Each structure stands twice: as C-alpha cells, then as structure tokens.
Structure 1
Amino acid sequence: MAIAYRQWCEGDDLALLEMWGGPETDQARQFRGTLAPSGNAPWRRCIVAEDVVDGAAIPVAAGVVHEASLHPERLWVYVEVARDHRRAGIGSTLLAMLRHEAEHSPSGVSRLRTKVEPGTPGAAFAEAAGLAPIQRSRLVVVDPGALKLPVFGDGSEAAASDQVEDLATGSVELSGVVGRYYTAVHDWDSPGELSIAAVQRLFLDELSGAHGAIVLRAPKASAFGAGVPASKKGRLQAFAVSYAQGGPELGEPADGSRGHGTKAGQPSDVFLGHEPELSAVDARAAVRDLLALIAYQYPVLLELDDSMAALRAVVEPLLAAGKARQAGADTLVVSDPA
C-alpha cells in the first residue's frame, strides 16, 4: 500500500463515496457535506489520501478543518478513512496534517473539536487523538399528553390568552430571548456575539426552516404600580420554535386544540428554551408548562444538551417514566483540552 496526500479536487466526493459507501453515523453524514476545496472565505483546508496501485491513484480517505462563524473559539475537524484502509496510520497522518494547517488559520484559533457517536470507530479515533467530551446531546421524542396541561391565573380563557401567545418569528423580543438562551446554554463552547440579525438568520427566518413560534409570558403587570389594573404584557419566560414540515405549526389549532405535528403523526422538530435570567425553579416551571401545551396532542422532537438544565429537569423524568424516548444514539462534542 503506497499512500499519497494531496488537496481536495473536483470529483473526489463521488470517488470517495464509492469507497466509503453510506455514512456509518449521523455525524458522518453531516460532516461529509463539509468536504470541499480548500479556500479562505471561509477558511478551510481539505486533504485527500490516495492509495497508489500500479500507477493508479484511488482516493480512500479525506480530512477537513475549517473555521466556524458560530462557535468561533474552536475549529471543526473531520477525518474519514475507507473501512479496508483503517488501522494503517492514514487517519492519524491526515489529522496531523490538518493540525499543521490549523496552526496557520487566519483567526489564530487552532484548538479542534468534532462530533462523534459513543462506541464507534470515530469515537475511538478521537479519544486516541486526545479529544475529550465537552458536551452530550440527545434527540428526545416527547409523547402526546405526557404532561398535564397547566392552569393559568383563574383558569379562564382570557387568563390563558394573557400568558400564551403566538408570536411572529420576526419578533425582536423573541430574537433577543432566543439569542440569550442559546448563548447561556453554550457557555462550554461560546457562540460569540449574537446580534438580532444573526439570531434571525440562524434560528428564526424562513431559510432556517422556522415555521412558527409560541411563547409563554409572565402574568400581566401594571405599568403604574399596585392598585392600577394590569395592562402591560408580561415578560417573555419561555419560547418554542417549530421547524416542522407538512403539519400544523405551533399555535395552529388542530381539532380544536393548540398543537403541532406532522400529518403522519411523526414528531415535529422544536427548539424549546427560556429566558436565562429566570431562577432555576421558574425556568423549570416555564419550560414544563410550555412543553405540556405544545405536546398536548402531537409528539415533539427536542434536542436535549446536558447543559440545558431546566429542560433536562423536565424531560428526564418523562424518559424514566416511558412518556418520552430517545431517538438514536447520543452525540458527543469532543475537543482538544483547553
């Protein structure tokens, strides 16, 4: 086996696909999309390993390292080697070459991170390379009716309408809370400065796939102090943004009930969070009440990071009780040590 290394060229994706076959994990499927020609806008370096047999060069492995506009404190890295060429040092050589490239990144950032599935060859390779877990993420499906519906105020429809609201995804108020929440639960890998425009682009506009949003507010408050009837909208406490395709959106009536889901009964993808300045107790209560509403009639798919304390406190008992289930394997974000 004679291995040669070169920059990524047009057509390598098809040649490697023939050698690799289908992706072994969801992470591999996602990262394969980052294999592309090296460039500087954004900065990316991609290297291919070829096995040269009888003068013919056959691509068998590839690796990429690139900067990220979101979470800029580390570089993303990915290496994949054909099954029949593993344990021959090709992956380690590619990673060493990518580390060398990383030392010259324009941002000056050289620390690497990637995503792996526990118990896979990719996880073992990352561990051997010194990458250690910094976060665990799970996809969880919450079954319909898993939580009892909350009662707001005096239990009237008017009281519920004061606190539960369909909100346009273009709302600046919503964007502010979404951005603050995302930053708060990603303190382990800072997303950097998130402007309202960036939050919109990443999470809330049509290109992000966002279809609708529902929010939970604190009870109405008086703008003029005690003794004056409350008229001011309560502060936004929790939000749920739906990325569902082909079914009712969040807040859209379905058979007379507030809910969401797909027509085939498949779970809808929802980003659920809360105002990070809430106390731990209030955050759990707000997340629980909003989850109970959106999962009343249809199943909900949530991404649950270990850093999402309030959401974990609500969802993990549902997992233990069989009212929610994990979809697929864990995902670990692994990184070079600080």
Structure 2
Amino acid sequence: MAIEYREWREGDDLALLEIWGDPETFQASQFRSALALSASGDNGTPWRRCIVAEDVVGGIGIPVAAGVVYEASLHPERLWAYIEVDRDHRRSGIGATLLTMLRREAEQSPSGVSKLRAKVQPGTPGAAFAEAFGLKPIQSSRLIVVEPGALRLPVFPSGNDGGRPANDEDAGSDVVMDLATGSVELTDVVGRYYAAIHEWDSPGILSVGQVQKLFLDELTGAHGAIVLRAEPASAFGSGVAPSKKGRIRAFAVSYADPAQGATDQAVAAGATDVFLGHEPALDADNATEAVRDLLSLIAYQHPVVLELDDSMSALRAAVEPLLENGQARKASPETLIVSD
C-alpha cells in the first residue's frame, strides 16, 4: 500500500462516497459537506484547507481518506476539523498523518486561531481516534423527547382586573403569550441566551441579523414562538392596571422540520422540534422554574424534541428528572464536542 497526500480536487466527493458508503454517524453526515476545495479566506470566503489521501495502485491514485480544517464565522475561537478514512484503510496511520497535516495548516490560519474542535459520537472509531490524539471533551449534547403531560401544568394568576378568580379562562393571559419570530424583544433574549450557554466556546458578538438568520428566520423552519413573562406590575399600585408587559422569563421557538440527528423515527415523524431557553439574567432557581413551566405547556398534549447540552443548567434541571422516571427519553446518541 502506497499512500500519497494532495489537496482536494473537484470530483473527490463522488470518488470518496463510492469508497465510504453511507455515513456511520450523524456527525459524519454533517461534516462530509465541509470537504471541499481549499480557500484562502479572501472575499468573505472562510479559510479552509482540505487534504485527500490516495492509495496508489499501478500508478493510479484512488482516494480513500480526507481531512479538512476551516474557520467558522460563528464560534471563531477554534477551527473545525473533520477526518474520515475508509474502513479498509483504518489503523494504518492515515488518519494520524492527516491530523498532523491539518494541525500544521491550522498554524497558518489568517485569524491566528490554531485550536481544533470536532464532533464525535461516544463509542465510535472517531471518538477513540480523538481520544488517542489528545482531543478531549469540552461539551456534550443530546436530543431528548419529552412525552405529553410529563409535567404538571403551573397555576397562573388571572388577568389583572382585580376581580376574577385565579382559575378563570383568562388565567395566565398576562404571562403566557404568542410572539412573532421577528420580534426584536424575542431576538434579543434568544441571542443573549445562546451566548450565555456557549461561554465555553464563545460565539462572539451576535448581531440582531445573525440571531434571526440562525434561529428565527423562515429558512430555519421557525414557525412559531411562545413566551413566559414575569407578572406585570403597575407603577401606581395594585389597583391600577399595568401599562407594560412583564419581561420575558422563558421562550420556546418551534420548527416545522423534524430535529436533525433524531434516530427515533416516531419522534422524527410526530414530535415538534423546539428551542427552549430563558432570560440569562435570571438566578438558577428562577430560570429552572420558568423553563419547567413553559415546557409543561408546550408538551401538555404533544411530544416535543429538545437539544439538551451540558451547559443548559436550567433545562437540565427540568428534564433530567423526566429521563430518570421514563417521562422523557433520548431521541439520538450523544454528541461530544472535543478539542485540543
């Protein structure tokens, strides 16, 4: 076996797909699309270096492996890296050589950033490879389906006219509201929440436009949002109706398409994919209460799918007890983000 290394060329994707076959993991299916022509980073194009390993037989090179390292406009403090080697050529040093070459390329990135990160699934060859070469977990993520009625519905105050009982038909109307996905108020809290739960790998400063494009634009599949507000208070005392709504405590954005990476086909077909978060300034107990209350409402009659990261403390406090008692379950294998 004679292995030679070169830059990625047009047509390598088709040649490699014939050799590799179907992706072994969801992470592989995501990152295969990153294998592409190298780019210098000029004219707004992200910097990228992509290398192919060929098995040369009779003077003809057959692509059997590839690796890529590239800059990301979101989370710019690390470079993404991905390596895939044909099953028949593993454990022969090809992956190690590609990683060494990618690390050397990373030292020349225009941004000066050279730390690598990658996504792997525990218990797979990719995870074992990452561990062997010093890439350690910095975050884990799971897709969770919460079953209908898993949480008791909260008791909300009645509308603020001072005369109705707390369980009338308007109860909660001042604190639970639908909100347009284009709302500036919603965009603000979503952006700050995302930044807060990614302090371990900062997304940088997110503009209103970026938050909309990432989470709330029609192209993302976002088609509805509901918020849980603080109770409104009047500046003129309890006998006078408040003129302003309470601040958003928690939000839930629903998406039209099934959650990417869900391996439970029943979930993919019937559950609603939801991004659930909270005002990051809330203290831990308040944040957990707000998230739990809103989750109880959106999952009252239909199952929902949530992405649950280790860094989502409030959501974990609300969901992990449900996993323990069988009222929620994993909808996909765990994903680890590893870094050097």
Q: CA deviation at 1:221?
A: 1.5
Q: CA deviation at 1:264?
A: 9.0
Q: CA deviation at 1:173?
A: 0.4
1:277 paired to 2:281: yes
What corresponds to 1:101 in structure 2?
A: 105
Q: Render the CA deviation track for 1:275-318: whole Å, top value 9, x for unaligned.
A: 01011111111101110110011110000001100000000000
Q: Which moved more, 1:75-84 or 1:187-196?
A: 187-196
Q: What is the DSSP-based 3-state SS (H/G/I as helix, E as strand, rest coil) of the residue aligned with 2:34?
A: coil
Q: Is the 2:215–2:222 Cα contact (8 Å) retained in structure 1? A: yes
1:250-269 residue pairs with structure 2 within 5 A? Answer: 266-269=270-273
Cα distance in 1, alignment partners of residues 339 and 7 from structure 2: 25
What corresponds to 1:18 in structure 2?
A: 18
Q: What letter matches 2:58 in structure 1?
A: D
Q: What is the DSSP-based 3-state SS (H/G/I as helix, E as strand, rest coil) of the residue aligned with 2:103?
A: helix
**RMSD after superposition:** 1.6
1:263–1:17 Cα change, 3 Å:
closer
1:120 paired to 2:132: no
Q: CA deviation at 1:139?
A: 0.5
User: Out of 238, 250, 257, which is 2:250 matched to?
Assistant: 238
Q: TM-score normalized by structure 1?
A: 0.92
What corresponds to 1:293 in structure 2?
A: 297
What corresponds to 1:191 in structure 2?
A: 203
Q: Is the 1:215–1:237 Cα contact (8 Å) retained in structure 2? A: yes
Listed as ranges, the gaps of 5+ residues in structure 2 are 158-165, 259-265
What corresponds to 1:311 in structure 2?
A: 315
User: Out of 50, 57, 72, which is 1:53 matched to?
Assistant: 57
Cα distance in 2, alignment partners of residues 297 and 125 from structure 1: 43
Q: Which moved more, 1:46-55 or 1:263-272?
A: 263-272
Cα distance in 1, alignment partners of residues 24 and 132 from structure 2: 19
1:182 paired to 2:194: yes
Q: Is the 2:267–2:331 Cα contact (8 Å) retained in structure 1? A: no
What corresponds to 1:252 in structure 2?
A: none
Q: CA deviation at 1:226?
A: 5.7
Q: How many residues align?
A: 321
Cα distance in 1, alignment partners of residues 235 and 221 from structure 2: 36
Q: What letter matches 2:310 in structure 1?
A: D
Cα distance in 2, alignment partners of residues 222 and 3 from structure 1: 74
Cα distance in 1, alignment partners of residues 48 and 236 from structure 2: 56
Q: What letter matches 2:288 in structure 1?
A: R
Cα distance in 2, alignment partners of residues 265 and 97 from structure 1: 42
Q: Render the CA deviation track for 1:241-264: whole Å, top value 9, x for unaligned.
A: 011339xxxxxxxxxxxxxxx999
What corresponds to 2:32 in structure 1?
A: 32
1:145-156 residue pairs with structure 2 within 5 A? Answer: 145-153=149-157, 154-156=166-168
What corresponds to 2:114 in structure 1?
A: 110
Q: TM-score normalized by structure 2?
A: 0.92
Q: Render the CA deviation track for 1:103-139: whole Å, top value 9, x for unaligned.
A: 1111100000000001110001011111000001010
Cα distance in 1, alignment partners of residues 253 and 228 from structure 2: 12
Instruction: List 4+ stretches of structure 1 deviating above 3 A.
Output: 223-228, 262-265
Cα distance in 2, alignment partners of residues 288 and 156 from structure 1: 22
1:161-172 residue pairs with structure 2 within 5 A? Answer: 161-172=173-184
Identical-residue share of aligned pairs (%): 73
Q: What letter matches 1:25 in structure 2?
A: T
Cα distance in 2, alignment partners of residues 314 and 191 from structure 1: 25
Q: CA deviation at 1:231?
A: 3.0
1:208–1:142 Cα change, 3 Å:
same
What corresponds to 2:47 in structure 1?
A: 43
What corresponds to 1:4 in structure 2?
A: 4
Q: Is the 2:6–2:51 Cα contact (8 Å) retained in structure 1? A: yes
Q: What is the DSSP-based 3-state SS (H/G/I as helix, E as strand, rest coil) of the residue aligned with 1:159?
A: coil
Cα distance in 2, alignment partners of residues 35 and 155 from structure 1: 57
Q: What letter matches 1:213 in structure 2?
A: A
Q: Is the 1:136–1:331 Cα contact (8 Å) retained in structure 2? A: yes
Q: Render the CA deviation track for 1:128-162: whole Å, top value 9, x for unaligned.
A: 11100000101000001111111111233323111
Q: CA deviation at 1:229?
A: 2.8
Listed as ranges, the gaps of 5+ residues in structure 1 are 247-261
Q: Is the 1:265–1:299 Cα contact (8 Å) retained in structure 2? A: no
1:54–1:263 Cα change, 3 Å:
closer
What corresponds to 1:136 in structure 2?
A: 140
